[in-house]
A and B are shown apart, each in its own frame.
Chain A
Amino acid sequence: MIRLRNVNKHFGNFHVLQDVSLDILQGEKVVVCGPSGSGKSTLIRCINHLEPHDSGEIIVDGLTVGTPRDVLTVRRTAGMVFQNFNLFPHLTVMENCILAPKLASGVSDKDARKMAEEYLARVHILDQAWKYPIQLSGGQQQRVAIARALCMRPTVMLFDEPTSALDPEMVGEVLDVMSELATGGMTMICVTHEMAFARRIADRVVFMDAGRIVEVAPPEQFFTAPQSERARTFLSQISH
């Protein structure tokens, strides 16, 4: 489904990703964690080509990422949810959801609205569809962002710390929606510090440090018996 081979990426002299290789299967849920600056976000931003990688190979659903004529197709295949939601503030919730289907996929207004209603209902926010983003709480905004991404009918969803900017009492509602998505069989790559969530839904945990993948393991094994010293230190620091 997704294949990364020896991917390298620099920001100036800073080597953010160093020879990263990873295979993700259809329907698999992968949680990426690690200290800040370890390259987690850059990794998933490379997968939908928001950040161009310098060398190595990334393949998404048979498409080579970086090929100019496939850029838009790759992005429509991989939906992304951001830390700061990034909803379009000048558009209502409904308009946020139907913009891309109408412009990029040529779906009619009527069909786009019908599909948006379906996904907004799935993230439990259909009753707010006529509102502007500024009228919603952070948790509601993030659920709209998930619906907006789903409206492109992606085959994989990328989550970039989706709950980090939320007030604690709103984390649960977003994680619930993500869990429902996971149960539905969606392929997911999720950068997060929500370890209980990772334990519950992840098939594998990828631990990164200083631009490298240090450890890949099933969650039970990773959280109870991490192999690397670096992962042990990290886990002890976040579980205080």
Chain B
Amino acid sequence: MNFDPSTYWEALFSWPFLRGAMLTLGLTVAAHLMAILIALPLAVVLNGPPSVLRRLITVYVGFFRAVPTLLQLLFVWNALPQIFPVFREEWFTPFLAAWIALSLNESAYQVEINRAALSSIDSGQMAAGQAIGLKRSHIYRYIMLPQALRVALPPTMNEFITLLKLTSLASIISLQELMTVTQINVARTFQFSEYYAVALTWYLVMVYSLMGLQKLVERRFRWSSRTEANALAESRRSRGW
């Protein structure tokens, strides 16, 4: 066996790999947050009555789902500056380009998740909200979204994990994320297994931490289960709700 543990340990906590892992996580969080921000109002419109806007959104969703993510990345990084001179300036970094491309790409998938989650809520909830005289925005904020979140969380987490790994595509536009750093070190030393193991470790740490976070958030949805609602109610009661 030819695995040098000291190379592994040294690289694992070295600045380039730490920075790469942080860039990967940072880009994923930033892109997914933006995607959710774009997707929420679009999903609300899709959940409403037919309109011209609804058709436009359907076209938008189809477009970003059809075009390969790699092509979207390359387009934003290479073609956009060709078309609009503003993007030729210093501020347009690989991180920014990747953020724009991945946000738009991810928003198309997130729209579908949010729409499905909203339409899974019983129509009586909307009617009950209206009947007690709540504004539409309040009905969404306090009644529809909290319930839709429960349905949307697992597929959203799936998307987040997919996106986390998709950020490695940004190595092609020279973003120094985790996989780029790994490739550079491998090319320099030919110590494949050590540096691949470092990348693997960081991806595992990130994904398992997220899964733990998901479990914590899901505890707040125990109201939906006949057997667990009691525990949630009791714990809130003991804290003086």
A148 on the B face (CB < 8 A): yes
Closest to B238 in A: A130
Binds B, one of A98-106, A167-175, A190-198: A98-106
* Chain A nearest CB, measured from B45 CB (Å): 20
Closest to B137 in A: A103
Q: Which residues of B contact A86 (CB under 8 A)?
A: 122, 124-125, 127-128
Residue among B130, B133, B135, B237 with max Cβ neighbours from chain A (10 Å): B133
Q: Is the CB of A99 within 8 A of B241?
A: no
Q: Which residues of A contact B233 (CB under 8 A)?
A: 92, 130-132, 135
Q: Which residues of B contact A131 (CB under 8 A)?
A: 229-230, 233
Q: Is the CB of B131 within 8 A of A149?
A: yes
Interface residue count on the A side (C-beta < 8 Å): 31
A223 on the B face (CB < 8 A): no
Assess A104 versus B134: contact at CB under 8 Å? Given A130-B237, A130-B241.
yes
Q: Which residues of A contact B125 (CB under 8 A)?
A: 86, 88
A72 on the B face (CB < 8 A): yes
Q: Is the CB of A48 within 8 A of B131?
A: yes
A89 on the B face (CB < 8 A): yes
Q: Is the CB of B236 within 8 A of A134?
A: no
Q: Which residues of B contact A82 (CB under 8 A)?
A: 124, 127-128, 131
Q: Which residues of B contact A99 (CB under 8 A)?
A: 132, 134, 142
**1/0 per position for A147-179, CB-CB distance to B under 8 A?**
011001000000000000000000000000000
Q: Is the CB of B131 within 8 A of A50?
A: yes
Q: Which residues of A contact B124 (CB under 8 A)?
A: 82, 84, 86
Assess A134 versus B224: contact at CB under 8 Å? Given A84-B124, A86-B127, A90-B147.
yes
A76 on the B face (CB < 8 A): yes
Q: Which residues of B contact A132 (CB under 8 A)?
A: 223, 229, 232-233
Closest to B237 in A: A130
**Which residues of A are in contact with B by a Cβ distance under 8 Å?**
48, 50, 72-73, 75-76, 79-80, 82, 84, 86-92, 94, 99-100, 103-104, 130-135, 148-149, 152
What 3 A-B pairs have minimum CB-CB distances, sorted nearest first? A76-B133, A86-B128, A86-B124
Contacts beyond the supplied A87-B128, A104-B133, A132-B233: 15 A-B pairs with Cβ under 8 Å: A48-B131, A72-B134, A82-B127, A82-B128, A86-B127, A90-B146, A103-B138, A104-B135, A104-B138, A130-B236, A131-B229, A131-B233, A132-B223, A134-B229, A149-B132
